[in-house]
Amino acid sequence: MKQLPSHKQLILFDGICNLCNSSINYVIKHDTNNAFMFAPLQGEAGKELIYQFEIDISKTDSILLYSEEKGLKTKSSAALAIASKLGFPRNLLCIFYIIPPFIRNWVYNYIAKNRYNWYGKKDSCMMPTAELKSRFLE
């Protein structure tokens, strides 16, 4: 896996999921501080982190947030941590941290379980454009 710069966080996403790809495009558009890098779960970086953290991808398969200093966040905690870095008004979503994780993750899991039916999926992972290639780890 290519080295993640120490000041960056890595968003791992389901590269064939239309909802996930739209979400990544949204993050890229609003990540004005250039805080994030991206990689599909299906790629080498995703596979390495799944192995390293012993993640059961049958239970967590749509978004992960990793950084050297903060470790790994999954599900709703990952989504809220990402939103917190996207500036006003998106950072206000952090208010949902007051909701216990088991409730937040129930909602998250419901959406994740149905994302292919609701939004569809691609046959292969998204390929970043030339200008966005530097934002992707692989």
Tell me, yes or no, whether 134 lies in a domain.
Answer: no
Query: pTM of the predicted model, to two decimals?
Result: 0.87
Peptide bond into 128 cis (omega under 30): no
- Cβ partners under 8 Å of residue 94, min gap 6: 80, 83, 84
Picking from 29-33, 53-57, 95-99, 100-104, which range would have the lowest pLDDT averaged per residue? 53-57
Tell me, yes or no, whether 27 lies in a domain.
Answer: yes
Contact between 10 and 65 under an 8 Å Cβ cutoff? The reply is yes
Angle at 108 between CA 106 and CA 110, to 5 degrees: 70
Tell me, yes or no, whether 17 lies in a domain.
Answer: yes
Q: What is the pLDDT of residues 57-87, one digit of tens each?
A: 777 667 899 988 888 999 999 999 999 999 8
pLDDT score of 8 more than 70: yes
Q: What is the pLDDT of residues 105-122, one digit of tens each?
A: 999 999 988 988 998 888
Tell me, yes or no, whether 128 lies in a domain.
Answer: no
Looking at residue 53, its pLDDT comes to 87
Contact between 45 and 71 under an 8 Å Cβ cutoff? The reply is no
Tell me, yes or no, whether 51 lies in a domain.
Answer: yes
Q: How many domains does the chain have?
A: 1
Range of the domain at 44: 9-123
Looking at residue 93, its pLDDT comes to 92
Tell me, yes or no, whether 137 lies in a domain.
Answer: no
